[in-house]
Amino acid sequence: HVRERGVFSGIFGVMISTGLFLAFDVNERILHYFQAHGVPGVEATRWVFFAPALLLAAFFLLEAVLLKDVPSQAGFKDFDTGDASSGEEESQPPIFDVLRKILTHPVILVIALVEFCTGVIRNGVMHWFKIFAKEHIKAGMTGGWTYANDNWGLMLMVAGIVGGMFAGIVSDKFFQSRRAPAAGFLYAAAFFATLLMIPFLQNGWALGFLVFVMSICVIGVHGLLSGTATMDFGGRKGAATAVGIIDGFVYLGTGFQSLALGYITTRNWDYWPVFLAPFALIGFLLLLRIWHAKPQPRAKPVPIETEEDI
């Protein structure tokens, strides 16, 4: 139900952050393991791709057996979700009608622009901090740089779990399942953390803490907007399309920051946080436009049972 989805977006955050831990830390350990046992460079690298492929195959089988489309297929009672699809006919609308609905929805369009900023900031931190840390380690600096570099995946996993659960719980419990206020708070925190990066850019421990805070913010926002708000405003019949479009904007932002920071950081790392800060501010200002937005069902949703009703 729409009143519970924020909390479930925390699960989405856990999934994302666990994948980051596997990608950054576990894959690196797999590579080092095979290299230490005499496997040549290219052959050892192949296992960095084989291991995720095996995991994907296992989850394909798991989901093929366990994943269901509606609660009744899993032995539960179907219920009205209270989102934008409430009151609609059960028949599936034509795909172009779904696309028109999604692409002309003012709230979804704002969310897409916010998620473009999320893509810039998220990958602008996740990918570039580790490169920055390695450059300092090569220059003979250790301390915070070494710790963050060796445990970057673990830090991102913890950040994702904290950010995802915080955003979801705050959205459901304090803002009546409005997503923008919780996301806006995280964007504001990310903006100030980005500004603080500027004076602490050469301090490994301080910078590591700041990018950890920023990771909490952007993973929390991503789970809440891409994983939850899309279902709220896209409705049951348009949720997948909305997720695809909004995630597309996330990776459009990812591509943009890759080109921009690839150019900027080869000239002067001082402009790294300066580049990120405006996107944090823009994301916050965009969220102000949809601060009070909630899905409008076509019919009054059927109330869900609570523990007090049973």
What would the pLDDT profile of 142-186 be if each residue is shown by its tens digit? 889 999 999 999 999 999 999 989 988 888 888 887 889 999 999
* Dist. CA 9–CA 229, nearest whole Å: 9
* Dist. CA 277–CA 193, nearest whole Å: 9
Of 252, 246, 255, 254, residue with least CA distance to 225: 246
Phi, psi of 175 (to 5 degrees): -125, 25
Q: What pLDDT is recorded for position 310? A: 45
Residues of the chain with pLDDT under 50: 302, 304, 306-310
Sign of torsion over alpha carbons 47, 125, 6, 1: negative
175 neighbors 181 (Cβ within 8 angstroms): yes
Phi, psi of 211 (to 5 degrees): -70, -25
The CATH fold assigned to 5-74+98-289 is Growth Hormone; Chain: A; (1.20.1250)
Q: What pLDDT is recorded for position 271? A: 96
Largest Cα span, the chain: 66
Q: What pLDDT is recorded for position 120? A: 97
| Exposure b/e, 143-182, CB count within 10 A at least 16 = b | ebbeebbebbbbbbbbbbbbbbbbbbebbbeebebbbbbb
* Dist. CA 278–CA 204, nearest whole Å: 23
Whole-Å CA distances, 257 to 121, 267, 276, 284: 8, 15, 9, 18
Q: What pLDDT is recorded for position 35? A: 86
